[in-house]
Structure 1
């Protein structure tokens, strides 16, 4: 029987002022090393853990700005790690999953993961998701009664009937009720809501949510649409604004 690998923990020196820190939790040391090098090349400080139990204690004591969890790990898997972490922390988390773990993806997103990426994955996609989530998380440091300072080129709030989307804050409401979306879900919904009634093909929605060099299949987009509908129906059981045009794609109705 294969034994779990010896626990690996790497705590780099304290990050420079203003430098963001990313924690990586995966029992594959090649992935830990490769991603750590790629993230450091992008200017991030990194910490790596091959053991969920060791990661949990460290993340509680000294939270990073964002964490990337593998799901399948010995001792404590990514799902258990997120469940324990969510008891005390709202730390942004991205899951790395295998293509045959759709149920795990569903459960992880429901539990509070911010996004998931299927293995094998593009480093460019992961870096794009990390940047997007960190941009989204930044406004949370502001108090609710202090509006953000307008900036040149800042996206305006999108209002379509009962839907309101604030790209700067990554906030979505339906009939004034908040709806929590992952970065990918937000980008797909934004592409649909930009032109109500216009049919968007799956390829167009892929282009809106993923970098040009990343391949995703039709099932991936369909899965995101399924989750979007489920989240909106949790606040409005009659939600039907995202329409399926069989053989063509999807559209958004603001009627």
Structure 2
């Protein structure tokens, strides 16, 4: 049992008892508290009642599928989500990440792999400790102490990884980060995903903080990675 994860609660959402039961067994062996929901409606109910630290969410569910559940949760919750699916197509993975998933795992999988991904996501790899935990830019505030991003005075719904990614880039304006370096800094060296995870999180952040705004902040350096720079739109 790992003491780092004692008192952390995981919500497992899967209608296959053998899958949810096995995940529960592995996660509890690591010190996690595990709650199981068998369908999409119960997933939403349990998520709001117990406020879990992380949700493992299957796509194919009764009543409401995982896509719908993720969309509902992301309206008012920033809980990390690992999405499970028998669909291995890249388009499905991208859709899952775009809907707010922090990771996407294709069935069949090993319970040990899922446990490793859970620990990697919850093991907060905060960016470098700096003098202030609040960064202010034109029309944009990042409050790392509260894990908040504020655009034009309005707090946007953002996941912990989105805040950490934004904080790291904004703390180093003009510095180009490769996708691999961002994966290492934000997700940790033992993260099992790939660089498309970074691309998807950047895309989500742009949609949330730049759409219809006077400034852009996150910029692609083609063939290399991403950088933060405040640029006023000309039009």
* TM exceeding 0.5: yes
Listed as ranges, the matches of 1:174-253 within 5 Å are: 174-234=151-211, 236-253=212-229
Change (3 A) 1:173 1:44: same
Looking at CA atoms only, which structure, 1 or 2, has the larger radius of gyration? 1
Distance in 2 between residues matched to 1:85 and 1:244, nearest whole Å: 29
Aligned partners of 1:22 and 1:64 also within 8 Å: no
Counterpart of 1:164 in structure 2 is 141
Q: CA RMSD in A?
A: 3.4
Aligned to 1:45: 33
Task: Report the Cα distance in structure 1 between the residues aligned to 2:144 and 2:181, rounded to whole angstroms.
Answer: 19
Contact 2:97 2:197 in 1 (8 A): no
Give yes or no for the alignment of 1:79 onto 2:75: no
Alpha-carbon distance in 2 for matches of 1:248, 1:125? 26
Aligned to 1:124: 116
Match of 1:65 in 2: 52
Matched, 1:94 2:52: no
For the 8 Å contact 1:122–1:214, the answer to whether it is kept is no
Q: Secondary structure at the match of 1:207?
A: helix
User: Is the contact made by 1:65 and 1:91 (CA closer than 8 Å) also made in structure 2?
Assistant: no
Following superposition, the deviation at residue 217 of structure 1 comes to 2.7
Change in 2 beyond 3 A, CA 1:161/1:21: closer
Q: If the length of structure 1 is used for normalisation, what is the TM-score? A: 0.66
Compute the displacement of 1:209 (Å).
Answer: 2.0
Gaps of 5+ in 1: 1-17, 110-114, 133-152
Corresponding residue for 2:110?
Answer: none
Q: Is the 8 A contact 1:51 1:76 kept in 2?
A: yes
Tell me whether 1:26 sits opposite 2:14 in the alignment: yes
| Secondary structure, counterpart of 1:229 in structure 2 | helix
Aligned residue-pair number: 210
What is the CA–CA distance in structure 1 between the aligned matches of 2:121 and 2:207, rounded to whole Å? 22
**1:253 aligned counterpart, secondary structure:** strand
The SS at the match of 2:177 is coil
